[in-house]
Structure 1
Amino acid sequence: MALDKSTFETLVPSRFVTFAFPDPSPPSASGDRHRHRHRHRHRRLLQVAVLDSPVQPSAAPPRVAAMLVPCHRERDWIFSTEPGHLQLLLGTPGLSRLVLIGEDPVDGRGRGLGFRRRTECDRSRRDGREESLRRLVLALSPRICFESGVPEVTFLSYEDDLVASVVLEVCIGEFVGEMLVEDVEIERGGGCGEREFRRRLRFKRMPNLVQTQVRIVPREDRGETEGGFGIEDMQFRIDAGVLVHPYLAPMAASLSLIGFHIDERIQKGLRPKAFCAGVGGGALLAFLRGRLGFEVLGVDVDEMVLRVAKQYFGLEDGDFLRVVVGDAIEWIERLASWKTQGTLGAVYSRDLSVADGIDGKFDVIMVDLDSSDVSTGLVAPPLEFVRKPVLLAARSLLCEFGILVINVIPPDRLFYETMINKVRDVFHDLYEIDVGNGENFVLIATVASVGDCSESDVSFIMKLNSVLSGAYMDSIRKI
């Protein structure tokens, strides 16, 4: 069905329209030569998507921008789903409409979610393709943009560190929806030419977000030279000894605030104890147990996520590490009720031995939960967690020198400041680590004053320094 030419003359919040369009670009001198010979029989198509922002900025005239889909990534959820487009739009503040243009996967280009980057395709042809598509973008711009003449056409670029990927499994979780596990090759900083590999978990509802990732190491020394084996031909093992996900190392570094306290526990022959609200791939839980000697209880709402963590990310549910299926916030409230009143639903009774322990308390509660409402962008933690009854319950589960550690992705400064004030009402002191990626903060709340945490000769802090970057511990600041 043909589109009405007036469809795009006005902005309609959250409207999402996709259509195929003949490619106006001339064929390249190499890769498209054979297509040129058959142009009269089959003209290459483009897939065009137009998304209007759900909240239109007040600025006039409105801002419109276009983005070319990187070659060979047309089927990636980032570029092939409405949630992916929305994340791209929300990543550019003040944008009213985003026009995404890529080759039609049905037109012989896409073969699946996995891909291998061809740098010459993305870079050498980009300028020419933008010029050939300028008129199309103008035709898709609202009429108000032309009130002062022909507007400038802005092309945004999408660049990340991905070199190649291969999908291991696509599955559906009851709560998180469709998700995929993939092995990826990424660019290694410094131009040293070495290959670096990760295993990643992504959710389709937030396709531009890597939910969790771990470092993987080839089992055989293959594919290290040009012309060797590609990532799809390689076998890997999990390297659980390092935290590569951006905010996990800062979350672990927060333990330096109570290094003296943890040291005392260990000297008494006791394992420090952690409650992890949200498991994901389980990298943080495995690190706490394997590298730092913690006893760990993890709770995740989606049973399929836990299955994936065990099958693909090396999470082992056994000695000193237990994971259970459930709502982590509800678990905190139920455990607090049991600690104070001795009441707990029967469904939790089989896990009480894990929840009990050192004075019946945890040394740390680590919260890695996010909101599932894609229309507002990613928000962590969910609003349900920062309710006062939940914060009071969390505090009651912590020992005298315990800490609450929260991964925070605020949608705006007001959200963050409001959250800080709510946590401050319940806890003694607050500390912060700026992860440095422009998205995450790690908020640390203490039950009591922790005093000077700078003593580097404490055994536990020395251990932290040996397995983490000391820069994260140095960047902890009181707020």
Structure 2
Amino acid sequence: MMTTPIQPFTEIDPGKLEAITPSQFLTFTMPHPIHLHRLLRVAVCDSPLANADDSSPSISVVFVPKNRETDWNFCTESGHMQLLLKLRVSRLILIGDLPPHQGPSIYKLPPVSQTAEKERLLNELKPLMIPLLPKSIFTSDNGLRKIVFLTAVEDAAYRVTVAKVASPIVGEFLVEDVELVGFSDRNKQLRRRLRFKRMPKVIQSQALLVPIIGDDEATTQTDLESLRNIESATFEPDTRVLVHHYLIAMVSCLSLIASHLAQFFRPKALCFGIGGGVLLSFLDTQMKFEVTGVEIDPMVIMASTFHFGFNRLNSIRLIIKDAIETIQNFPNREPPKVEKFDVIFVDLDSSDAKIGFCAPPQEFCKKHVFEGLRLLLDEQGGLIMNVVPLNKVFYETLVKELKEIFHKVYEIDVKNADNFVVMAIVSPPSFVTFEYLFLNKLKSLIPGTYWNSVVEL
């Protein structure tokens, strides 16, 4: 998704900034107030949900971290829109250095700037903000006092782009290796991540990243930059351990149908949405499920195979098709070969950045889709969904429709960006004497973070 062309501020019609205009997006340059030889890039983004007649609009000014000017979060319209919707403001003003023509493939967290320098920049910028504010913000009080000034937080101490892929279906996406901030030298946390340009603030998939050093070399270094400088070093994702919190919560929900799953040597799982394939790999290799995955984009499957080690043993059946179409026309759905699954996982999200991040997509959350999923489940099976609701009404409607189709509905609040995991079971669980074997296995593989967080809705 391309941004609006950058123009000098002097060429912007001031009338466009005097009022909130839903979905308006403008970018322009202005001189840096301290380093006069440099230019600042400024973006003004108005919420699609805003009321143009709002007499008290909310405004946030966000400073782009140094050296991240070319990151999708800060140079694409979709990135701006996601940030605005997350902050829930009427107008977002984004300020940063003018990005170079070619973005770096490596990012390193710069040293923390001196407080005095930050304060000086903020004080110099405040008067320059006045032309960027809607007239309605100025009352008897100083309108500038109503503005929230923020600096974007970075969770990566070091990040390198491993691959950039262009897909005609999901658009451009990245595979990145990342070292997380906030960990000691002895306990560095490394991750491999998948990110889509259409939803730049969302980490679609992430896995534990393990460095492999040749026998002829030894090192005490644990940071990603130093490890990458070792000639023999390679990096492998480890999908035997889940690190994405919502995936941990999704797998924890299997405890609700443990009595059913314990009856099978290899229970059957159907997964809508593959991403990096981390969940499917975990179910296949660690939980010993017979796994079927549904993904519309073959380029995503290719990236997950090459960069996340997905399905290297060809033990996972793949269906390359749209999720809703697959539900409606599932293979072997007609008698006498009706295929049933013990659990269905749904991990799909919206492709429209202007409505905000939404999972599952609105078109998926329909009664006839849930009824189709119900028909694919065993009578003791369960449906597990990653849910990031657009709003309260979206969530309440989703739960209501599930309750009309399934026996009971449960929730885990992931407490991460309004993320919930919802599970619906087809019928009351029936106790079997050896279900503890499945539960013990599950608890040995999954941290206990969410074991006591399941609540019935």
Number of the residue aligned with 2:207: 214
Letter in 2 for 1:68: F
Give the Å deviation of 1:222. Answer: 4.5
In 1, the alpha carbon distance for the partners of 2:121 and 2:105 equals: 24
Give the Å deviation of 1:155. Answer: 0.4
Q: Are residues 1:475 and 2:450 paired?
A: no
Letter in 1 for 2:385: I
Give the Å deviation of 1:111. Answer: 4.3
Number of the residue aligned with 1:403: 382
Letter in 2 for 1:11: I
Give the Å deviation of 1:70. Answer: 0.6
Give the Å deviation of 1:219. Answer: 1.2
In 2, the alpha carbon distance for the partners of 1:282 and 1:51 equals: 34
How many corresponding residue pairs?
Answer: 439
Q: Are residues 1:129 and 2:126 paired?
A: no
Q: Residue 195 of structure 1: which of 185, 188, 193 is its match?
A: 188
Q: Residues 201 and 222 from structure 1, CA distance in 2 versus in 1: closer, same or farther, beyond 3 angstroms? A: farther
Letter in 1 for 2:236: R
Question: What's the secondary structure of 1:414's corresponding residue?
Answer: helix
In 2, the alpha carbon distance for the partners of 1:3 and 1:206 equals: 28
Q: Residues 123 and 420 from structure 1, CA distance in 2 versus in 1: closer, same or farther, beyond 3 angstroms? A: farther
Give the Å deviation of 1:235. Answer: 2.6
Are the counterparts in 1 of residues 30 and 39 from structure 2 also a CA contact under 8 Å? yes
Number of the residue aligned with 1:351: none
In 2, the alpha carbon distance for the partners of 1:59 and 1:445 equals: 41
Are the counterparts in 1 of residues 70 and 100 from structure 2 also a CA contact under 8 Å? no
In 1, the alpha carbon distance for the partners of 2:450 and 2:19 equals: 48
Number of the residue aligned with 1:424: 403
Number of the residue aligned with 1:250: 249
Question: What's the secondary structure of 2:123's corresponding residue?
Answer: helix
Are the counterparts in 1 of residues 327 and 372 from structure 2 also a CA contact under 8 Å? yes
Question: What's the secondary structure of 1:308's corresponding residue?
Answer: helix
In 2, the alpha carbon distance for the partners of 1:432 and 1:216 equals: 30
Question: What's the secondary structure of 2:162's corresponding residue?
Answer: strand
Deviation string for 1:59-82 (max 9, x for gaps)? 532122211001110000000111
Q: Residue 18 of structure 2: which of 4, 9, 13 is its match?
A: 9
In 2, the alpha carbon distance for the partners of 1:61 and 1:385 equals: 36
Q: Are residues 1:301 and 2:301 paired?
A: no
Q: Are residues 1:174 and 2:171 paired?
A: no
Are the counterparts in 2 of residues 297 and 323 from structure 1 also a CA contact under 8 Å? yes
Q: Residue 224 of structure 1: which of 218, 221, 224 is its match?
A: 221
Most deviating of 142-151 and 128-137: 142-151
In 2, the alpha carbon distance for the partners of 1:123 and 1:252 equals: 44
Number of the residue aligned with 2:308: 313
In 2, the alpha carbon distance for the partners of 1:97 and 1:248 equals: 33
Are the counterparts in 2 of residues 186 and 196 from structure 1 also a CA contact under 8 Å? yes
Deviation string for 1:385-425 (max 9, x for gaps)? 23222222211111121001111110111110100111111
Q: TM-score, normalised by structure 2?
A: 0.90
Number of the residue aligned with 2:133: 141
Unpaired segments of 5 or more residues in structure 2? 1-6
In 2, the alpha carbon distance for the partners of 1:278 and 1:232 equals: 35
Letter in 2 for 1:143: K
What is the CA RMSD across the aligned residues, in angstroms? Answer: 2.5
Give the Å deviation of 1:156. Answer: 1.8
Letter in 2 for 1:224: Q
Deviation string for 1:190-237 (max 9, x for gaps)? x56521111111111111111111110111364726897165765311
In 1, the alpha carbon distance for the partners of 2:100 and 2:308 equals: 33
Question: What's the secondary structure of 2:174's corresponding residue?
Answer: strand
In 2, the alpha carbon distance for the partners of 1:398 and 1:317 equals: 27
Deviation string for 1:160-192 (max 9, x for gaps)? 321111111111122211111111110245x56
Q: Are residues 1:240 and 2:239 paired?
A: yes
